[in-house]
Chains A and B, each alone.
Chain A
Amino acid sequence: MDAIETAPKAHFREYWDRRRILAPVMISPALLYIVALVGFPFVLAILYSLSDATTGNPSIHFVGLRNFATILHDPVFIRSLENTFLFTFVSQALVVVLSSILALALSEDFRGKQVVRFLILLPWTAPISLGAIGWLWIFDSVFSPMDWLLRAAGLLGVPHGFFGADSNLYWLGRPILAMASVIVVQTWRILPLATVILLAGISAIPNEILDAAAVDGASFWRRLFQIEIPLLLPVISIAVLFGVVFTFTDMTVVYVLTRGGPINSTQVLASWAFFVGIEAGDLGQGAAVALFLFPVLAGGTALVLRFARRREVA
């Protein structure tokens, strides 16, 4: 074992150097941090959800499942739940398709690739609340550049225009357009993350396999569907997993662009938990709403563990 035990050392140091002492001592700050500021708050969240605590009176007085009964009868909560699934599913479906196309293109060499890479990564590398503010100005009700383009093309702001006779579309002012807008921005946000994960996967495909396929005369599509996509499947699922967890539980894009409006048409679970629990100060109901995020998180966690186990076997 350790050479240290055979060498004559001061008693104190020998004691201190034993791994049985040192190993737990070194790991305990990390465990303490996680237990105190992740584990304990999680338990507290469950306790709050069963109580009538408010910011004004935060003492926990149990009321059973009353908060859950209340929110399940609340149309805004139901709307938020539906919106969260729609928001997550559509944005992540777009991300899978778009990131695959983009990653295949970026896996080739071309001039200016480094600059393109930097620009394409911006939505993920720049703080999202600031990126979303840029989009807020793009979706402006009067000065939207997209409205300007549609007007210039004669599709908007003229009698019988394809998008109507109004001079603006009011992107964030109409329920369906507002939902489409937050979905596009969330897609924009997650796209670079999925793309770089896929790129890492593509670069890990051994060249011999692709060369052999080329020698055998396999066409581009055949190579894509019979070799690259099957080999990339584990990587694609990791990208989807993180995309789903980060989207289902986030509220930044919704908060900055619409605050859940108009009339809760873009409200999601996370933003609704924020408005109820933090802004309105109803800790009990807010915690109950937030706990609905947990199943997706738990599912994601289980999948990560499966991947990790597969790696250990490999």
Chain B
Amino acid sequence: MADFRKLRKQASIYGVATFFTIFCAFPFYWMLITTFKRDSDLFNPTNDPFILNAAPTLDHLRVLFFHTLFLRYLLNTFVVGAAVVIITLLVAVPAAYSLTRWAGRWGEGLGIGIFLTYLVPPTLLFIPLSRVVAFFGLTESIGSLILVYPTFTIPFCTWLLMGFFKSIPPDIEEQALIDGYSRLGALVKVVLPLSISGLLTVVVFAFTLSMQEFIYALAFISVSAQKTVSIGVPTELVRGDVFRWGPLMAAALVASIPVAILYTFFLDRFIAGFTMGAIK
């Protein structure tokens, strides 16, 4: 009886896991198989679409890398991501440190206030920000994204870092101060080395959040050569009504998987930040 119950439980767990894995991952399988399918196989509605009906081909990848601006989009994305990471670290680290060490309860409130700005959606601000971007002369350039993306990475990363700094005992810094370090010296030489994993989390999130962003990029940039991957692929690999499905799916797959791997490693910390300690 107990064995039967255990077996039934096992079976239902596997059943649920299988169903959801197919639901969640099928679009990526679909990208993968399309990437390697010949056009003659792809565009034959009687062929079984789930398998390769002819020998695989690298044509779509060749077109993507050598006959589109895909590499340029990747480069733009990387430049934006790296710049946003640097700005975020320079702004969020001192802010989080100041709020955790000096401000007490008042700091907690201000910290929550800063976190809440993360919830302000791009769709509420893209119209006025398009004028702000124009004011700075950054229209149609990745500079506009470097300026605007920190508005969501700084709030989130400040909040994450506050959690990390709180876990470092203030005694360690007091000792450093007695040893003759200045406050900033103690921060750089003592606190930051102890927060490496927190800093790494911030780097990963600032980068992946920038890479995923779609709405600001769509609103601010229409020149092909300045586009990032997230808007370049959906808008440029489609010419009028003609979709180049092979290269398009290859692009979506190639750009998605590295971000997904990076993100998955750090997801638990992201969620800890989100739930704001409601879970203990």
Contact = CB atoms under 8 A, between A and B. Distances in A.
A162 interface: no
B151 A307 contact: no
Contact of A128 (B90, B212, B264): B212
Interface string A54-95: 010010000000000000000000000000000000000000
A137 B34 contact: yes
Given A27-B98, A110-B14, A130 B263 contact: no
Interface of A: 2-4, 7, 13, 16-17, 19, 22-24, 26-27, 29-31, 33-34, 37-38, 40-42, 44-45, 48, 55, 58, 98, 101-102, 105-106, 108, 110, 116-138, 140, 142-143, 145, 148, 167, 188, 191-192, 196-197, 200-201, 204, 234-235, 238, 242, 245-246, 249-252, 255-256, 269-270, 273-274, 277-278, 283, 286-287, 290-291, 293-294, 297, 300-301, 304-305, 307-308, 310-312
A191 B20 CA distance: 10
Interface string B88-102: 001110110111001
11 contacts: A4-B182, A27-B95, A27-B99, A29-B91, A33-B154, A34-B155, A37-B150, A45-B128, A105-B12, A235-B279, A273-B127
Interface in B194-245: 208, 211-212, 214-215, 218-219, 229-231, 233-234, 243, 245
Given A105-B20, A255-B218, A308-B112, 19 more contacts: A4-B183, A27-B98, A38-B120, A38-B125, A45-B125, A116-B17, A120-B24, A121-B24, A126-B260, A128-B214, A129-B230, A131-B252, A133-B234, A140-B245, A197-B275, A238-B274, A245-B119, A287-B127, A304-B119
Interface string B115-158: 11101110111111111101000000000000110110011001
Contacts of B180: 7
* CB-CB nearest 10 A-B residue pairs: A249-B121, A134-B27, A44-B128, A30-B95, A26-B94, A126-B256, A270-B123, A125-B263, A26-B98, A41-B128
Contacts of A196: 267-268, 271
Contacts of B79: none
B215 A29 contact: no
A19 B274 CA distance: 30
Given A45-B128, A304-B276, A308-B112, A2 B151 contact: no
A51 to B, nearest CB: 11
A304 B24 contact: no
A121 B230 contact: no
B52 interface: no
A122 B32 CA distance: 14
